[in-house]
């Protein structure tokens, strides 16, 4: 049985998604070096070398949900025009636009959440747990903040087509296929009747 701290360590070492790390460790019988080798053979770590390079190509895609009551525009970037035109990249962008329509994230990653929003959420969470022991309040608030990030940040949300993985790991699985840096630049979600 592969332990969570082993998966975390492999992820930190390689930058590859959690699920791919877990699968590699399972296949390697828990051996860290073998797991790295397995990931390298799959091409997953190759894409990491590209991570420092700029991603100036990509696609802006739209998704209109059945009935035309909801729509999404999303910009996903990669390094080359060749990759942007690939079937795999287009498939990923479509997946992301459908996910945004279904899950309604507010931010791309936790670093995008404004400080005032974080402060307000913490204030609300602290008020909710005032009856708990003082020593436990910070830990409870921290747990509630983690849940907040998972609900509101695109990269941390469970992927709608496969809730066993998060969106960040779904994107990471395409890094290996495409062999380039990929990131979500921005998105907008519209819904009829929504307040502006």
Q: Which domains does the chain have, with CATH numbers?
A: 4-44 (1.10.8.10), 50-109+153-191 (3.30.479.20), 114-151 (no CATH)
Pairing of strands 57-64, 162-166: unpaired
For residue 76, the cross-strand partners are 59, 184
Q: What is the pLDDT along the chain (196 residues), one digit of tens a residue?
A: 788 888 888 877 776 777 788 888 899 898 888 888 888 777 665 545 544 455 678 899 999 987 888 999 999 998 888 989 999 999 999 999 999 999 999 999 999 999 999 999 999 998 888 888 888 888 998 999 999 999 999 999 999 999 999 999 999 888 878 888 888 999 999 988 876 5
What is the reported pLDDT for 54? 56
Residue written as token pair 């990249």: 89
Q: What residues contact residue 62 under an 8 Å CB cut-off, 6+ apart?
A: 71, 72, 73, 74, 97
What is the reported pLDDT for 99? 96
Question: What HEC string does the chain produce?
Answer: CCCHHHHHHHHHHHCCCHHHHHHHHHHCCCCHHHHHHHHHHCCCCHHHHHCCCCCCEEEEEEEECHHHCEEEEEEEEECCHHHHCCHHHHHHHHHHHHHHHHHCCCECCHHHCCHHHHHHHHHHHHHHCCCCCHHHHHHHHHHHHHHHHHHHEHHHCEECCEEEEEHHHHHHHHHHHHCCCCEEEEEEEEECCCCC
Q: With residue 194 as reference, give the H or E element that holds it.
A: none
pTM (predicted TM-score): 0.70
């Amino acid at each position: 049985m592969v332990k969570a701290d082993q998966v975390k360590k492999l992820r930190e070492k390689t930058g590859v998604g959690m699920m791919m790390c877990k699968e590699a460790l399972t296949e390697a019988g828990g051996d860290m070096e073998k797991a790295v080798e397995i990931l390298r053979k799959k091409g997953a770590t190759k894409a990491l070398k590209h991570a420092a390079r700029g991603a100036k190509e990509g696609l802006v895609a739209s998704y209109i949900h059945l009935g035309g009551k909801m729509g999404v525009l999303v910009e996903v970037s990669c390094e080359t025009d060749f990759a942007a035109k690939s079937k795999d990249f287009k498939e990923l962008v479509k997946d992301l636009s459908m996910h945004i329509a279904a899950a309604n994230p507010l931010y791309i990653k936790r670093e995008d959440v404004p400080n005032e929003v974080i402060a307000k959420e913490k204030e609300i969470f602290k008020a909710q747990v005032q009856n708990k022991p003082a020593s436990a309040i910070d830990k409870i608030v921290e747990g509630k903040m983690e849940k907040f990030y998972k609900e509101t940040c695109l990269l941390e949300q469970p992927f709608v087509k496969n809730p066993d993985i998060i969106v960040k790991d779904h994107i990471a699985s395409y890094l290996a296929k495409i062999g380039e840096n990929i990131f979500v630049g921005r998105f907008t979600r519209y819904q009829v009747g929504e307040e502006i």
